[in-house]
C-alpha cells in the first residue's frame, strides 16, 4: 500500500529470515525417498541410489562482475543463478539433479520483498527441473549481492562424459545457436530500448536453459567422446576440450548456427556475427565431439545439433576457418583475475 514502509533484512536479522525461509524451501515429492535430513540442521543429508555416483558442482555470481540488478527482475535473477549451475550437471552426460545448496550475501538494507522474489525465482527453476532446495547459508554484505549455488546430482558412472575423450577425426558440434547471450548483454548494457526483435538476445542472457535432454542422450547412449557447456564461450570451450584431450581442433565459422536476431544486432554494431558466436559466453549450449559414424544418429536424436568443426592432431593447434581467412584460437573467455580477455 502507498506509504507503507517495506521491511528490510536488517529488521528481521539472520535467524528471523531463516525462520521465514526454511519452511518454504522447495523439495519435490518425487525425491522424498532420498531425503534423510532436510533444511534446518547443520547439514542436509540425502540418500543416493544403489549403483550410482554423486555428481557435484558449484558456481557463484557477484554483483558488478556477473550482473547488475537493474538488468533483472528479482525472480529472473533467482532462476538464472540456479540454471547456470544445473548446466554444469547437464554437461556431464546423463545426470539426474537431486539437491541444491544456496549461499547468499545481501546488504542489510535490502527489502525483504526483494529477497522473497529472488527465492521465488529459485523455487520456479527448482520445480522446472525437479531439484530440491536442501538449504545453504544467508549472510550480510557490506556492499552488493553475492550468490553461490552448489548442485548435487546422481548418475551411473558409465553414463558420464568427460572432457578428455576427443580423437582426431571426431566432429565438433553444438546443441544450438551461439552468441545470443553476448549480444543480449550488450543490449542490457546500452540501457536503451532496442525493440522487440532483441528479446531473444536478452532472454538468452537472462534465462539460460540447461540442456539436460541432450546431455542425457549423449551420456546414456555413449554418443559423445567429450563434452562441456559453452558458458565461457565457444573459443574457450574448444581450447579446453582440445587441451584435456591432447588434440587440435578446427572450427568452421560458416557452419556456426546464427539466429536472425544476432545477425541483425551484429550488423547494427558493425561486427561479424560469428565473432559473437565464437567469443561470446553465457550461452549454456553443450559443446561436444562425436565419432563420424555416430553423427547421423545424433542428428536423429538431437535435431537441433549442428556440426561446426573437426578434431585434428595435437600439432595442428586450435584454429578457426572462414571462407577468406584462418586464425589460431587464443582466448579463454572472460578472466576474473585480469583486466580483460586472455
* pLDDT tens, position by position, 159-198: 999 999 999 999 999 999 999 999 999 999 988 778 899 9
Q: Is the pLDDT of residue 30 over 90?
A: no
> What residues contact 311, with CB distance under 8 A and at least 6 apart?
166, 167, 168, 169, 170, 171, 172, 242, 245, 247, 248, 249, 289
Q: How far is CA 244 from CA 55, 56, 173, 226, 240, in A?
A: 19, 20, 17, 9, 6
Q: How confident is the model at residue 333 (pLDDT cuts 50, 70, 90)?
A: low
Q: Is the pLDDT of residue 5 over 70?
A: no
Q: Encode burial over 174-190: b for 16+ CB neighbours within 10 A, e otherwise.
A: bbbbbbbbbbbbbbbee
| Cβ atoms within 10 Å, residue 32 | 9
Q: Is the pLDDT of residue 26 over 60?
A: yes
Q: How far is CA 73 from CA 8, 31, 86, 114, 178, in A?
A: 18, 29, 20, 9, 24
Higher-scoring residue by pLDDT: 109, 289: 289
Grid cell at residue 161? 562424459
Q: Give the chain's mean pLDDT.
A: 89
Grid cell at residue 219? 551420456
315 Cα distance to chain centroid? 31
pLDDT for the residue 23: 76
pLDDT for the residue 44: 61
Do 75 and 128 form a contact (C-beta atoms < 8 A)?
no
pLDDT for the residue 337: 38
Lowest average pLDDT, out of 9-13, 200-204, 225-229, goes to 9-13
Do 267 and 313 form a contact (C-beta atoms < 8 A)?
no
270-281 average pLDDT score = 94
pLDDT for the residue 27: 79
Provide the whole-model pTM: 0.87
- What's the CA gap between 97 and 52, in Å, rounded? 13
Nearest alpha carbon to residue 230 among 147, 323, 294, 306 = 306
Q: How far is CA 152 from CA 112, 244, 286, in A?
A: 28, 24, 19
Amino acid at each position: 500500500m502507498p506509504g507503507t514502509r517495506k521491511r528490510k533484512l536488517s529488521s528481521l536479522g539472520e535467524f528471523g529470515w531463516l525462520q521465514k525461509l526454511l519452511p518454504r524451501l522447495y523439495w519435490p515429492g518425487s525425491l522424498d525417498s532420498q531425503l534423510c535430513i532436510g533444511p534446518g540442521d547443520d547439514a542436509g543429508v540425502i540418500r543416493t541410489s544403489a549403483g550410482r555416483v554423486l555428481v557435484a558442482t558449484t558456481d557463484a555470481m557477484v554483483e558488478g562482475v556477473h550482473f547488475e540488478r537493474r538488468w533483472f527482475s528479482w525472480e529472473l535473477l533467482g532462476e538464472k543463478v540456479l540454471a547456470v549451475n544445473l548446466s554444469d550437471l547437464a554437461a556431464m552426460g546423463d545426470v539426474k539433479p537431486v539437491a541444491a545448496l544456496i549461499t547468499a550475501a545481501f546488504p542489510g538494507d535490502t527489502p525483504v520483498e526483494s529477497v522473497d522474489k529472488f527465492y521465488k525465482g529459485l523455487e520456479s527453476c527448482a520445480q522446472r527441473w525437479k531439484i530440491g532446495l536442501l538449504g545453504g547459508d544467508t549472510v550480510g554484505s557490506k556492499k552488493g549481492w553475492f550468490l553461490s549455488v552448489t548442485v548435487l546430482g546422481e548418475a551411473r558412472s558409465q553414463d558420464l562424459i568427460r572432457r578428455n575423450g576427443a580423437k582426431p577425426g571426431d566432429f565438433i558440434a553444438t546443441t544450438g545457436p551461439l552468441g545470443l547471450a553476448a549480444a543480449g548483454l550488450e543490449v542490457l548494457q546500452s540501457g536503451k530500448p532496442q525493440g522487440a526483435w532483441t528479446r531473444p538476445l536478452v532472454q538468452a542472457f537472462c534465462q539460460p536453459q540447461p540442456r539436460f535432454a541432450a546431455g542425457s542422450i549423449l551420456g546414456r547412449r555413449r554418443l559423445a567422446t567429450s563434452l562441456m557447456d559453452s558458458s565461457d564461450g565457444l573459443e574457450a570451450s574448444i581450447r579446453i576440450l582440445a587441451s584435456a584431450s591432447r588434440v587440435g581442433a578446427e572450427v568452421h565459422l560458416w557452419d556456426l548456427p546464427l539466429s536472425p536476431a544476432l545477425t541483425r544486432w551484429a550488423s547494427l554494431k558493425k561486427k561479424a556475427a560469428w565473432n559473437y558466436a565464437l567469443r561470446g559466453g553465457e550461452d549454456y549450449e553443450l559443446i561436444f565431439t562425436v565419432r563420424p559414424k555416430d553423427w547421423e544418429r545424433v542428428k536423429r536424436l538431437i535435431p537441433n545439433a549442428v556440426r561446426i568443426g573437426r578434431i585434428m592432431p595435437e600439432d595442428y593447434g586450435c584454429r578457426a576457418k572462414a571462407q577468406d581467412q584462418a586464425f589460431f584460437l587464443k582466448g579463454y573467455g572472460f578472466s576474473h583475475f585480469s583486466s580483460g580477455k586472455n
